[in-house]
Amino acid sequence: MILLQTNVDFFVPPDPRQGIIFGGIFLGLILVAVIGSKLSGPGTSGGSGGNASFLLRLSFRRKARRAGLSRQQARLLDRMAQKHNAADRNRLLTSTRSLDRLLTRSLATAETESTSDYVREQMKHDLLQIRSRLGRMDGNGSPVKSSRKLRQGTEIIIRTSDKTQYDSRVVASTEQLLGIEAPGPGPNEHYGWSKGMPLVILFDVGGDGLYGFKTKVAGYRTRRGTPALYVDHSDTISSAQKRKSPRKDFGNPAYFFPVLVVTEGRGRNRKKRAVVDSAKRQLGTIQDISAGGCGLRARTSMKPGTLIKITFEVRQGTNVTVFGKLLSVEPGYRGSLLHVKFTKVSRVHMNEIMAYVYGYTGERQERAYG
């Protein structure tokens, strides 16, 4: 009988470093497998096609980030492009028309497929913010190159050398001269527009900002009963203002009310509360509107700094309520123009305003599906 020696080790304890190395290799293989499955993508016939598709989408997202979108917005735009089979995703970043077409469809999808009001409005908000971030792009949104392209009826602003501004509109255009409605203090009255007087003519381009040109008064006469001021044309159009929020002509009636700030309580319990003065309701017309504010035409004696509440319809049957602060008042022969900055707007009502500003309701929506 052979006795076993107790001081002999039959099994050598494993080296901890070897376990760590083995575990790292194992996890690396799992990671490679996961990445490979994502690159190939579901429903692809081959790995190379899936890899190419993934790389193209990744490249698009990077371009979208460089164009000004957040990571979340870039992913959302990519997802909508895939959902609606956008032929050329890169065109979404360079063509306003292509982007508008996709967003119109995407907004309609959000309207019908969302599971709750909150999800629907959040999705619409995110999509509209994409349009707002990208802003005006080259191509369809480019400004006019010459004042000869201004159409009859175009709303303009006349600015004199002393910075006085008058609202007006284009009434005629010839090869050499541009005819504009001559502002005056009353019917059949006009200010003294002398020949050679320097002026700046400002106009809006697609709701994205003010553009203008320098010119001089060439003449004055009555055209079809309307006092017309004629100025020299210009082929040098420059940006006068880049609005943070694009603006669009509106023209719908609106009720507005002054808002009073009242103080309640005493001492530490003292609080301020905003109260709408419903007894002083007035009727006006919203001349133009943006996500940041509006131009309200009305006959009123309100002073800058006044807080107001405005109610109106963006589209039939859709009531919108906003609160704002009166920034300035421009007297005019058609009533004062109140420049209002919005201070409080619900997400639902802001979505309605932005959808109108970008033309994602009504006619454009019909064209997108027609």
Quote the pLDDT of residue 74: 92
Quote the pLDDT of residue 9: 42
Regarding whether 189 and 105 lie in a shared domain, the answer is no
Regarding whether 365 and 251 lie in a shared domain, the answer is yes
Amino acid at the residue 82: Q
Regarding whether 81 and 183 lie in a shared domain, the answer is no
Quote the pLDDT of residue 194: 87
Regarding whether 344 and 255 lie in a shared domain, the answer is yes
Quote the pLDDT of residue 10: 38
Regarding whether 165 and 121 lie in a shared domain, the answer is no
Q: At which of 242, 269, 289 does a domain end?
A: 242
Average pLDDT of the chain? 79
pLDDT in tens, 60-112: 999 988 888 889 999 999 999 999 988 888 889 888 888 989 999 999 888 88
Return d(Cα 366, Cα 108) in angstroms, integer: 11
Return d(Cα 182, Cα 194) in angstroms, integer: 12
Regarding whether 166 and 123 lie in a shared domain, the answer is no
25 part of a folded domain? no
Encode 320-344: b = buried (16+ Cβ within 10 Å), e = exposed: bebbbbbeebbeeeebbbbbbebee
Regarding whether 343 and 297 lie in a shared domain, the answer is yes
41 part of a folded domain? no
Quote the pLDDT of residue 321: 96
Regarding whether 106 and 51 lie in a shared domain, the answer is yes
Regarding whether 252 and 237 lie in a shared domain, the answer is no
Residue-number span of the structural domain to which 225 is assigned: 147-242
Give Rg (Cα) of the chain. 31
Percent of the chain whose predicted confidence (pLDDT) is above 70: 75
Instruction: Identify the CATH number of the domain in which residue 179 sits.
Output: 2.30.110.10
Quote the pLDDT of residue 367: 38
Q: How far is CA 186 from each of CA 190, 299, 331, 334, rounded to the nearest angstrom?
A: 7, 14, 12, 9
28 part of a folded domain? no
Quote the pLDDT of residue 268: 81
Regarding whether 264 and 234 lie in a shared domain, the answer is no
Q: At which of 109, 134, 159 does a domain end?
A: 134
189 part of a folded domain? yes
Residues 6+ positions from 92 with CB-CB distance below 8 Å: 77, 81, 86, 98, 99, 102
Q: At which of 200, 226, 242 does a domain end?
A: 242
Return d(Cα 54, Cα 45) in angstroms, integer: 14
pLDDT values of the chain reduced to their tens digit, one per residue, 370 residues? 444 444 444 344 555 555 555 556 656 656 555 555 544 444 444 455 566 687 888 889 999 888 888 899 999 999 999 999 888 888 898 888 889 899 999 998 888 876 788 889 999 999 999 998 886 544 444 457 889 989 888 889 899 988 788 888 999 999 999 999 988 655 555 567 889 999 999 987 655 567 889 999 999 887 777 788 999 999 988 876 555 667 788 989 999 999 998 888 887 888 888 889 889 999 999 999 999 999 999 988 788 899 999 999 998 888 999 999 999 888 876 788 899 999 999 999 999 999 999 888 754 343 333 3
Regarding whether 296 and 271 lie in a shared domain, the answer is yes
Regarding whether 114 and 72 lie in a shared domain, the answer is yes
193 part of a folded domain? yes
Name the 3-class secondary structure at 254: strand
pLDDT in tens, 221-260: 877 777 889 999 999 888 765 556 677 889 899 999 999 9
364 part of a folded domain? yes
Quote the pLDDT of residue 350: 95
26 part of a folded domain? no
Instruction: Identify the CATH number of the domain in which residue 321 sits.
Output: 2.40.10.220
* DSSP letter, residue 9: -
Quote the pLDDT of residue 11: 40
335 part of a folded domain? yes
Number of domains in the chain: 3
